[in-house]
Amino acid sequence: MVDDDRQILDLLELSLSLQGFSVTTAISGDEALKLVRQRQPFDVIVMDVLMAPLDGFETVKCLHDILGEALPPVVYLSGLNREEDVPHFPGHRCAFLVKPFRPAQLAALIREQAAPES
């Protein structure tokens, strides 16, 4: 989970942990890139869009440069509906959730993205 707002990051980490998810957090796009470079495997990436200096879309493009086809599904979170700006890669799954949302909505999207395609 990547978000530059520590309170949101902590709240979502707690909420998702209580729902049985194992959560790793990053406070910036740069920190997320460091985690991936350490070869930590992730099932789904939850990415805030509005961050600086790297926004969520730029961060995912960098993650794709590192991981290629191994990039896990991404759930984008944003206070603005910018779904048309989501970077798309062939064969890659993603979802977009506009804030405010209920933690149960996020959990459902994560489960949906993590589920194997049939």
> Strand 94-98 to strand 45-48: parallel, antiparallel, or no bridges (unpaired)?
unpaired
102, 104, 106, 112 alpha-carbon torsion, rounded to 10°: -150
68: which DSSP letter?
G
Q: What is the pLDDT along the chain (118 residues), one digit of tens a residue?
A: 999 999 999 999 999 999 999 999 999 999 999 999 997 789 999 999 999 999 999 999 999 999 999 999 999 999 888 777 788 888 889 999 998 999 999 999 999 999 887 5
Q: CATH code for 1-81?
A: 3.40.50.2300
Helix (H, G, I), strand (E, B) or coil at 104: helix
The contacts of residue 18 (CB under 8 Å, 6+ apart) are none
